[in-house]
Amino acid sequence: MAIVGFDFGTTNSLISVVQGDRVISFNDEQGLPIPSVVSYEGSKTVVGRPARERMSKAGLGVQGSLVRSPKTLLGKESVYVGGQERSPVDIVRDVVGFVRSEAMKTRTVKNLKVDQAVVTIPVNMDGRRRSLLRDAFRSAGISIAQFVHEPLAALYGYLRSQEDLKATIRKFDRKLVLVFDWGGGTLDLTLCRVVDGMLVQVGNDGTDDVGGDLFDEEIRNEVEKRVREKLKKDGDVEVHEDARTRLMHECEKAKIDLSGRSNANIFVQTFFHELDDPALDLTLSRDDLEGIVSKLVSKGISRIQHLLAREGYSTTSVSLCLATGGIVNMPLVKARLHELFGPQRVHVSARSSSLISEGAAWVAHDKARLHLAKNVELTLARNSYMPLLTAGLEMPREGEIRKDSFTVYCVDPTDGHGKFQLVSPHRAGPKVMSDDKRRTLTNLVVNVDKKAAPFQERLQLDVAIDDNLVLVAKARSLNMRGLDESEVYDLEFALHFPSGGGGWKVNSEMPGSNEDAAKREPGDLVMRSNIASHENRLLVPGEVLFKFEQYDRRLNRASQLQEDEYAYYKPCSYCGRASNDPLCRCSTSPTSRASKLGAPLPGSPV
């Protein structure tokens, strides 16, 4: 039974399947992916290109009886379509079901059932929307074997389609590859390496603030504005009901035409009401187009620089920039990518519209399972780290879950809170160093007994990853019954190539990484962890340790750091002010310094 690849996109959707050594994609009658548009006309449901032609008004979301980009509605309880309340899950189901039925009608592949699929998702899709998407697919008769990030699928498809896969793996071994996937709904980026026969995500970024649909709206609004200024009719003339639909189509067509021409004419007949000449007519140059969308382009390109800087790399570290999605065909976008990486390192895929679906089909064909690319760790007191989930962990299949529980101790309960910080190293693979740069995944805080002694309050942490690739962390305090829960969906993953190695090697160190980067980025929220995996009095802050224990400095039972901490928080022996109070000048006296650092503490034997 063939498992297909399914790219359910914001603007278009496509199914692909591997037959023998080639990929077959099921386009519509025009040879293009199927538009993700659905129209409800009484008891009749129209999906795809015919529905797109029925659009009565341009814009994202619900328009009359028609829904454009239904993927963006997932997460809402309901929407009103043509005056009728509908569930976004049902709307998505109608699109998915239509794409499925169109693929099953084909004679290219006999007996194609399309009841299982590897489905691609944007990197920034949260857990709830993933779960709702799974529900919609299940309702349409398709079980999701595995989710895969869209840019990761595109890169896997690109590498997998090369004639000599082993030579390709050797060519890109240990090198950085950036996928820049700019489609109609989202801009997705993934930074990857080929390591030990695996395609490993180093870092991801994604946004829906600069999608291609927003380009079309920007062009449409500017064209209408210029025509109104030309006619000296600023907002006081209404337009026909379907006029903006036709204008949107013309603007989209002009955007495509201007990729190969210097000028394009935009003409919409009977656009305005109550004018002698109601037509909209404007010639748009490539320079005009680039001026209209330049801010959106700059905003999108800046995401590349942000991702590279966050991971500690420069543009010169990238060996290949694979550009996919409809927007990358714009000359301005290509030029900006060439400025960053040089023309030799930028590859604009000729199969931009199908590469993500093809990659998902290859993942399905190769039975390539996702594995966790980076450790998930718990920050302990004194900035040590305890692994919770180890890189290389195979991700669960549909209906499965990977979970574990950990019991830890509260080192410093004096503020009444137990603080958990989950982090992930920037270095991929299971072998990381304690001083490697780390990214905070989430923080959890639970109530503890502030009067308890160190290590008296036990805490429990449960972690689980479900089939939606979402990490759920639950922290509990067993005495005070405090509870906190958090969800992490922006994890990095790895895919095994069929002819790759057996997995992570002991020396899986990534060359070229910025090893001396600071552990924290400017602006990061730093939380002093008060959690420990075992009882060790050296982990207790000095001022807390001396509060609960008899202490004799001559026995050297505390570290110098604990002594310094105690001295810092202990009021001045002479004036009673805090040690960092500028009004306290007693510390200038050697006698005072000796009394603060060396005098017996309260309750100590003399």
CATH of the domain at 461: 2.60.34.10
Do 378 and 362 lie in a common domain? no
- Does residue 311 belong to any structural domain of this protein? yes
> Residue 109 has what pLDDT?
84
245 has pLDDT over 80: no
Count structural domains, the chain. 3
Bridge-based pairing state of the strands 318-324 and 280-285? unpaired
Domain end point (choices 512, 532, 552): 532
Which of 171, 159, 190 lies closest to 497, judged by CA? 159
- Does residue 495 belong to any structural domain of this protein? yes
Q: Exposed (0-12), middle (13-18) or buried (19+): which is 399, by Cβ within 10 Å?
A: exposed
Higher pLDDT, 578 or 132: 132
5 has pLDDT over 60: yes
Q: Which domain holds residue 511?
A: 370-532
The backbone torsions φ and ψ at residue 370, rounded to the nearest 5 degrees and listed phi first, read -75, 140
How far, in Å, CA of 387 to CA of 194, rounded?
A: 24
How far, in Å, CA of 91 to CA of 81, rounded?
A: 10
Do 345 and 375 lie in a common domain? no
> Residue 560 has what pLDDT?
64
Q: Check if the beta carbon of residue 507 is closer than 8 Å to that of residue 476.
A: no
What's the token pair of residue 405?
A: 């529980």
600, amino acid identity: P
For the chain, give the mean pLDDT: 83
pLDDT in tens, 97-121: 999 999 998 878 887 889 999 999 9
Q: Exposed (0-12), middle (13-18) or buried (19+): which is 232, by Cβ within 10 Å?
A: exposed
- Does residue 272 belong to any structural domain of this protein? no
What's the token pair of residue 434?
A: 């304690």
**pLDDT confidence tier of residue 591, bands split at 50, 70 and 90:** very low
pLDDT in tens, 447-478: 988 888 777 778 889 999 999 999 999 999 98
Do 110 and 23 lie in a common domain? yes
Angle at 49 between CA 58 and CA 143, to 5 degrees: 105
284 has pLDDT over 50: yes
Do 584 and 483 lie in a common domain? no
Do 204 and 331 lie in a common domain? yes
> Residue 200 has what pLDDT?
95
484 has pLDDT over 50: yes
Do 91 and 142 lie in a common domain? yes
Do 443 and 575 lie in a common domain? no
Do 378 and 349 lie in a common domain? no
> Residue 111 has what pLDDT?
79
Domain end point (choices 332, 366, 400): 366
- Does residue 481 belong to any structural domain of this protein? yes
Number of residues that make up the chain:
606
The backbone torsions φ and ψ at residue 131, rounded to the nearest 5 degrees and listed phi first, read -65, -40
- Does residue 225 belong to any structural domain of this protein? no
CATH of the domain at 121: 3.30.420.40
- Does residue 286 belong to any structural domain of this protein? no
Angle at 440 between CA 436 and CA 443, to 5 degrees: 140
Which of 543, 518, 431, 527 lies closest to 484, judged by CA? 527
- Does residue 245 belong to any structural domain of this protein? no
Q: Please, which residues have CB within 8 angstroms of residue 601's CB and are 6 or more apart in sequence?
A: 546, 551, 553, 566
Higher pLDDT, 356 or 582: 356
> Residue 250 has what pLDDT?
83
Do 435 and 343 lie in a common domain? no
Domain end point (choices 532, 563, 580): 532
The radius of gyration computed from the CA coordinates of the chain, to the nearest angstrom, equals 30
**pLDDT confidence tier of residue 313, bands split at 50, 70 and 90:** very high
> Residue 506 has what pLDDT?
36
Higher pLDDT, 561 or 204: 204
278 has pLDDT over 60: yes
- Does residue 257 belong to any structural domain of this protein? no
Do 575 and 479 lie in a common domain? no
Do 326 and 416 lie in a common domain? no
Do 594 and 478 lie in a common domain? no
Ranges assigned E (strand) in 78-164: 79-81, 84-86, 116-121, 143-149
